[in-house]
Amino acid sequence: MSDTLDHKALQVLLERPALRRLLEAYNGAVEETRIVGGAVRNALIGKPLSDIDCTTTMLPEAIIERAKKSGFKFVPTGIDHGTITVIVDGEPFEVTTLREDVETDGRHAVVRFGHDFELDAKRRDFTINALSLGLDGKLYDYTNGVADLAARRVRFIGEARTRIREDYLRILRFFRFHAEYARDGLDREGLEASGLERQGLATLSKERIRQELLKLLVAQRAQETIRTMAEHGFLTWLLAGAAEFGRFARVADFDQGNPVWRLAALAVMVEQDAERLREHLRLSNDEQKKLAAYAQLLAVLKTWALPFDGSAIRRLVAEHGVETLNIVLAAIRGEPAPHILGDAWIALENYRSGAESVPVFPLRGADLVERGIPKGPKVGEILSAARQAWLAEGCRTDEAYAKDLLNRVLAQA
């Protein structure tokens, strides 16, 4: 089974200059430090590496002292949990003391520092996340993770319900890692245990749930995994509402991996959905604004009476932006309404590619002040009226039109 894995990539990983400097500084006659988790897993299957984490027999204070002696910068990012971020040649590495769980409540674990790599591996979540790599190139596998990785299988370490009870977020991580790494169906024991322990999700913070859900939405097999979650009752709870699988699939096929747009396509039908999701998932203001913009434009498009042509696209990109229009049109493509003509698609592609510039409203507040309108709310009111007229009249940007529009709104004012 392991023949499907690229073991030579592990040596390439160890030859990265900054990482090798770190490992050479943190390995010796008494202490040992290894690369652990995601970097080892991804190297073996040819996936890009993001963060590179290490685990060590050294205590946090010793990690800091060794960094000082070696001329490395360091940040005590999680010193209470044994994690120090060590920066070598500008590249950050999380170095964490080996740990053993003493007590868990499904949200947080009480740990003690250990000296046993096998015990540290067995407290992790999935077998494919428990692999470690020594400075000498030896791969350590205490949980049959190599076989599972070769088979593209995501399994909990040991008894699944026990692992979940240690941290209920592992239910969502189970689905997310399956969507990213698995080849076949969900592991039966893991799925059954997740269903039996699902009430524990209610104990988690909304921020942790949001973070895991957004990662899931952009995973490689997100579409089929999301449907499976819906079939087993997880999705309605996560979204606190209904899901639109067709729109999600179309946006996932079109979009390059923005999780907020995918969330919009999956769960936003009206503006109230955007507000509900902000509260339910503790979304940021920017994330909620994206969802609201999606909902607003969706409402416009679904109630547009006439066929869409190039002039309609010009108005919509001026009013809503190219990105939002692209996403919403991708979401509803193939639906009965609205009817979109061929020249509309051509116009949109021209705006998307930059072949044609998005029209910019040609008036400013300063233009009104120069013509005698005092600064204050009145300027905003007149500009708003002028903008509506500009949108209705085709979003012209030539100087003659701008002067005429200015004269007209001033006469009305």
In this structure, are residues 96 and 56 in contact, taking their beta carbons and an 8 Å threshold?
yes
Residues 374 and 257 in one domain: no
pLDDT level of residue 112 (50, 70, 90 thresholds):
confident
Residues 140 and 258 in one domain: no
Containing 391, the helix (H) or strand (E) segment is helix 377-392
* Residue at which a domain ends, from 156, 187, 220: 156
In this structure, are residues 23 and 63 in contact, taking their beta carbons and an 8 Å threshold?
no
Residues 6 and 151 in one domain: yes
Residue 65 lies in a domain: yes
Residues 19 and 47 in one domain: yes
Residues 265 and 405 in one domain: no
Q: How far apart are the first and last CA of the chain?
A: 78
In this structure, are residues 405 and 367 in contact, taking their beta carbons and an 8 Å threshold?
no
* Residue 101 pLDDT: 66
Residue 176 lies in a domain: no
Of 329, 339, 323, 307, the C-alpha closest to 250 is 329
Tokens of 229: 């979650």
Q: What is the pLDDT of residues 248-263, one digit of tens each?
A: 999 999 987 899 999 9
Over pLDDT 90: what percentage of the chain?
Answer: 87
Residue 96 lies in a domain: yes
Q: What is the pLDDT of residues 232-246, one digit of tens each?
A: 999 999 999 999 999
* Residue 1 pLDDT: 41
Q: What is the pLDDT of residues 324-340, one digit of tens each?
A: 999 999 999 999 888 99
What average pLDDT does range 8-21 have in this prediction?
A: 97
For 84, list phi and psi in degrees, rounded to 5.
-125, 130
Residues 278 and 149 in one domain: no
Q: What is the pTM of this model?
A: 0.88
CATH number at residue 88: 3.30.460.10
Mean pLDDT estimate for the chain: 93
DSSP 172-219: HHHHHHHHHH-SSSPPHHHHHHHHHTGGGGGGS-HHHHHHHHHHHHTS
Number of independent structural domains in the chain:
3
Tokens of 276: 């509900």
Residues 149 and 119 in one domain: yes
* Residue 116 pLDDT: 93
* Residue 216 pLDDT: 97
* Residue 14 pLDDT: 97
Residue 200 lies in a domain: no
Strands laid side by side in the 139-140 sheet: 73-78, 83-88, 91-97, 53-56, 33-36, 132-133, 139-140
Q: What is the pLDDT of residues 35-69, one digit of tens each?
A: 999 999 999 999 999 899 999 999 999 999 999 99
Residue 215 lies in a domain: no
Residues 141 and 26 in one domain: yes
Residue 190 lies in a domain: no
Tokens of 247: 């729109």
Residues 36 and 140 in one domain: yes
Residue 391 lies in a domain: yes
* Residue at which a domain ends, from 359, 386, 402: 359
Q: How many CB atoms lie within 10 A of CB 301?
A: 21
What is the C-alpha to C-alpha distance for residues 276 and 259, in angstroms, rounded to an integer? 17
For 324, list phi and psi in degrees, rounded to 5.
-65, -40
Residues 351 and 375 in one domain: no
Residue 180 lies in a domain: no
Residues 13 and 83 in one domain: yes
Note the helical H segments in 116-168: 117-122, 145-150, 160-166
Residues 128 and 52 in one domain: yes
Q: Residue 140: beta bridge partners?
A: 132
Greatest mean pLDDT range, 177-181, 236-240, 366-370, 406-410:
177-181
Q: What is the pLDDT of residues 383-407, one digit of tens each?
A: 999 999 999 999 999 999 999 999 9
- Tell me which residue range forms the domain holding 326: 235-359
